[in-house]
């Protein structure tokens, strides 16, 4: 009789579940499509050259292990907000931004949710359907109610713009809306600048509060400024808002956990109150965030040569992702009609995705070429995913998300073919 006999083993989230199953699979030809890190041909995580150099410089500059302040590395935080809002943004010039370093993007979301729980009257958050699985859990743990808004078009493999704006218009004043500014996880479908501007107007008029979760800046278009256009359109339209930033994917510093949470307030005085509130909350969560990753990112973003090299490498990563997407989709489109029909027998690929039309087609797949960032959704439903896991050692996540970072040059050849042929 133990203290924990009442405890049931909880269900893992879809990403961990796929990863653990893959790790336990003895098949040497298994393909892990749940991974979010970039892999080289030998399945090792890639480290950018600019980051290697920044690492050397950051270590030389300061080898001490002094604890950081509650708000983290001030230089890193400054560079982070400049990257999000633009170096010349009015909110930065006017001292209206409150910001703290966090333990990567996950804890930035968590700290925002905690702030919402503690200081915000409206205990509800609106999230895109579908969204990153951890969004659901972070807010659920704080018992904050969630409601979904339409985002993904399913059959068209694109943003459901009409559904999205209708849902925004139905929300009540004061509510919070979670938005992903670029490389939407898991769909890879983003709004364009005109759509961001229109969404900003609707939300300003409806008095809705935007919370941006920015986990992949640079990896959607290959351009860091371009990928922040949604955040900047909101800032320029006069919104108060919050932004969570992860530097895991765009610097490849996954394990070092540099991240940032910032708030744009209407006055410098309000920003000061928010700043202290964030520091008070951070104190009881992690007291002081880890220094190493923040030092590296600070060096990377401050040294003009390193920064230029980093921006080129981010562009290169984006191009690689697009090539992998292209190869995957082309492989699927080249499959025979018979194969496609067999695939359809396993059920509609749109089960989870707001679609009224059930028939899978090559057109669906072709539309997936327009998706951007780390992921691809080609319409796999949970039943098809289960077959791929159990019978064929191919591991996308349960919602059908394929992580392109996990498609290595060596399995790129076989991935699309085995995805389809092994469904039979
Ligand atoms: N937000 C989204 C949408 C993500 O996809 C991720 C990572 O998968 C994160 C936030 C946070 O990641 P991390 O905590 O590794 O920075």
Digit-coded pLDDT (tens) for 67-122: 899 999 999 999 999 999 999 999 999 999 999 999 999 999 999 999 999 998 77
Q: How far is the CA of 345 from the centre of ligand 1 (A)?
A: 34
- DSSP class of residue 152 equals B
Q: How far is the CA of 132 from the centre of ligand 1 (A)?
A: 8
Tell whether ligand 1 has an atom less than 6 A from the beta carbon of residue 111. Answer: no
What's the mean per-residue pLDDT of the chain?
A: 89
- Of residues 354 and 245, the one with the higher pLDDT is 245
> 8 in helix, strand or coil?
coil
Tell whether ligand 1 has an atom less than 6 A from the beta carbon of residue 131. Answer: no
Predicted local confidence at residue 39, as pLDDT: 80
Question: Mean of the pLDDT values across residues 125-133?
Answer: 95
Predicted local confidence at residue 63, as pLDDT: 64
Whole-number Cα distances in Å, 151 to 93, 134, 259, 362, 402: 34, 17, 26, 22, 19
Report whether pLDDT(356) > 50: no
Indicate the pTM of the whole model.
0.93
- Name the packing angle between helices 292-302 and 74-85 (round to 10°): 50
Mutation test residue for ligand 1: of 215, 259, 372, the one with most atoms within 8 Å of CB: 215
> 401 in helix, strand or coil?
strand
Euclidean distance between CA atoms 107 and 192, whole angstroms: 28
Predicted local confidence at residue 344, as pLDDT: 67
Tell whether ligand 1 has an atom less than 6 A from the beta carbon of residue 348. Answer: no
Report the percentage of the chain scoring pLDDT > 90.
62
Q: What is the pLDDT of residues 174-229, one digit of tens each?
A: 999 999 999 999 999 999 999 999 999 999 999 999 999 999 999 999 999 999 99
Tell whether ligand 1 has an atom less than 6 A from the beta carbon of residue 251. Answer: no
| Tokens standing for residue 100 | 């703290």
Q: How far is the CA of 32 from the centre of ligand 1 (A)?
A: 18
| Ligand 1 atom 1, closest CA | 215
Phi-psi region of 122 (alpha: psi -120 to 50; beta: other; left: phi over 0): beta
DSSP readout, 205-263? HTTPEEEEEES-TTTTTS-HHHHTHHHHHHHHTT--EEEEEE-HHHHS-GGG-EEEEEE
Beta strands across the sheet bearing 124-129: 97-103, 258-264, 241-246, 209-214, 176-179, 124-129, 145-150
Question: Mean of the pLDDT values across residues 262-285?
Answer: 97
Tell whether ligand 1 has an atom less than 6 A from the beta carbon of residue 180. Answer: yes
């Amino acid at each position: 009789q133990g203290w924990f006999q009442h405890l049931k083993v909880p269900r893992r989230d879809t990403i961990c579940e796929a990863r653990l199953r893959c790790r336990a699979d003895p098949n040497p030809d298994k393909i892990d499509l749940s991974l979010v890190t970039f892999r080289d041909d030998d399945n090792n995580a890639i480290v950018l050259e600019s980051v290697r150099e920044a690492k050397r410089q950051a270590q030389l500059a300061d080898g001490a292990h002094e604890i950081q302040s509650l708000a983290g590395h001030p230089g890193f935080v400054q560079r982070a907000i400049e990257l999000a809002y633009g170096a010349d943004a009015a909110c930065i010039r006017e001292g209206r931004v409150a910001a703290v370093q966090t333990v990567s993007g996950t804890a930035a979301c968590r700290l925002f949710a905690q702030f919402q729980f503690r200081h915000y009257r409206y205990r509800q958050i609106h999230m895109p359907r579908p969204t990153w699985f951890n969004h659901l859990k972070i807010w659920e743990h704080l018992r904050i109610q969630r409601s979904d808004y339409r985002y993904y078009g399913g059959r068209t493999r694109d943003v459901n713009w009409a559904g999205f704006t209708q849902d925004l218009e139905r929300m009540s004043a004061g509510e919070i809306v979670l938005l992903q500014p670029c490389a939407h996880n898991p769909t890879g479908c983003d709004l364009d600048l005109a759509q961001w501007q229109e969404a900003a107007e609707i939300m300003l008029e409806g008095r809705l509060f935007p919370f941006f979760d920015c986990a992949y800046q640079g990896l959607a278009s290959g351009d860091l400024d371009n990928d922040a256009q949604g955040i900047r359109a909101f800032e320029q339209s006069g919104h108060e808002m919050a932004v969570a930033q992860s530097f895991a994917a765009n610097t490849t510093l996954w394990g070092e956990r540099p991240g940032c949470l910032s708030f744009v307030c209407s006055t410098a005085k309000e920003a000061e109150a928010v700043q202290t509130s964030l520091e008070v909350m951070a104190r009881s969560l992690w007291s002081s965030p880890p220094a190493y990753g923040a030092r590296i990112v600070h060096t990377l973003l401050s040294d003009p040569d390193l920064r230029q090299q980093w921006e080129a490498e981010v562009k290169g990563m984006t191009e690689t992702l697009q090539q992998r997407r292209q190869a995957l989709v082309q492989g699927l489109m080249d499959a025979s009609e018979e194969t496609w029909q067999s695939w359809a027998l396993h059920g509609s690929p749109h089960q989870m995705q707001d679609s009224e039309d059930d028939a899978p087609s090559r057109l669906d797949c072709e539309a997936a070429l327009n998706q951007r960032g780390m992921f691809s959704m080609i319409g796999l439903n949970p039943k098809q995913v289960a077959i791929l896991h159990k019978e064929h050692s191919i591991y996308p996540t349960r919602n059908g998300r394929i992580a392109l970072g996990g498609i290595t040059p060596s399995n790129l050849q076989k991935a699309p073919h085995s995805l389809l042929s092994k469904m039979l």
